[in-house]
Amino acid sequence: MKRILITGGAGFIGSHLCERLLKEGNEVICLDNYFTGAKKNIVHLLDNPYFELVRHDITMPYFIEVDEIYNLACPASPVHYQYNPIKTIKTSVMGAINMLGLAKRVKAKILQASTSEVYGDPEIHPQPEYYWGNVNPIGPRSCYDEGKRCAETLFMDYHIQNKVNIKIVRIFNTYGPNMNPNDGRVVSNFIVQALSGEDLTIFGDGTQTRSFQYVDDLVEGMIRMMHTPDEFIGPVNLGNQNEFTMLELAENIIDLTGSSSGIIFKSLPKDDPKQRQPDTTKAKANLNNWEPKIQLREGLARTIEYFQATLLTNGRQKIRINA
C-alpha cells in the first residue's frame, strides 16, 4: 500500500483518480480548496478508511509523509481560469514550488498534470512533445498557458538540480462524468444545451478541431506514467488521436440525446486554437502500449447519462440516448 497525495482531488479528473487508486489498494489523501472541485465528486469515498479529505490551497505549503504526489490542482476551463487570472498563475507556479518542495523533503515521486495548452495555437499538427508551442504570453489565456509552461520548467529544474523524481504528462481535451455543467468546456456546454432543448453554441465556423479522450483512458495513462522507470520523466502527451470538428461534435451530441436543438454560431474568442490533436507515439512506446480505448460516441453516451442522472433530471423528462 502506497500513501498517495492528489492535489485537486475533488475535481473532475482528480475524483476519478482518487477512486481508481483506492480500488488498487492505496491510501489516498485528497487535497482541494473547492474553487472548481466539489465535495459531491468524492463524498462516496469518505467511508473508505484509507481515504482522507483535506481542504487546502496549494499556494500555501503543505506538510505530509507520502510516497507519490499527483499535482492536478488548477482551474482548467477558460471560464474558471480567467475568472481570477492572478490566482490561476499563482496556483500553477507557487503550487508547483510547494509540491516539489514537499516531494524533495520526503523523497516522493511527483507527477505534474500539464496541458496541451502549452502548445498554444499550434503551427505543427498533430503536436509532438518536442514542439515548443505558439503561445501568446499576454493574452486572455496566458494565465493558464504560461502558468503550466512555467510549472514544467520548475519540475525540470527540481529534477536536474535537486534530483527530484518527476513525471510530466500533457493532457488533451478530456470529458466524462463529474464534469461541472457550468465549466464552459465544449462537451459539457453542448450536452447541457442539448438536454435543455437549447440551441448548441459553436464559437467560430465549426471547422476548428479537437481530440476528445474519455476520463478513464486518461487516468490509466497517468497511472502508467507514474509507474515508468525513474529515468523516463516525459513530457508525454495523453489524448485521443481521433480528431473532430466542433460541428461534428455538436451533431453527435444532438443525435445521442435525440434533442431538437439547433446550432448557432458566434465569434471565436481571442487566441482560441484552430487545431488540437496529440501525437501519442511517445505514450504508446513508453506506457506499455497505452492508447485510448473508449471512442467518442460511447464516451459521450456515458457522459450524457451522468448529466441526466445527477444534474438535469429535476423537473425534466429523461431523453433516450441513441447509443
State the DSSP code for 39.
Answer: G
DSSP codes joined into one string, 232-293:
----EEES---EEEHHHHHHHHHHHHT----EEEEPPPTT--S---B--HHHHHHTTS----
**Single-letter code of the amino acid located at 34:** Y
Residue 98 contacts residue 71 (beta carbons within 8 Å): no
Cα 283 to Cα 14, 76, 164, 180, 211, distances in angstroms: 20, 22, 22, 28, 16
The crossing angle, in degrees rounded to 10, of helices 296-310 and 246-257 is: 60
Beta carbons within 8 Å of 106's beta carbon, 6+ residues apart: 64, 65, 66
144 is catalytic: yes
Active-site choice (70, 81, 144, 214): 144
Q: What is the distance, to the nearest Å, from the Cα of residue 179 to the centroid of all Cα atoms in its chain? A: 10
Residue 25 contacts residue 2 (beta carbons within 8 Å): no
Beta strands in the chain (DSSP E): 3-7, 27-32, 51-55, 68-71, 109-115, 166-171, 174-175, 200-203, 209-211, 213-214, 236-238, 243-245, 263-266
Q: What are phi and psi of 311, to 5 degrees?
A: -125, -25
Helix (H, G, I), strand (E, B) or coil at 55: strand
- Can the peptide bond before residue 126 be classed as cis, meaning omega within 30 degrees of 0? yes
What residues are labeled active site? 144
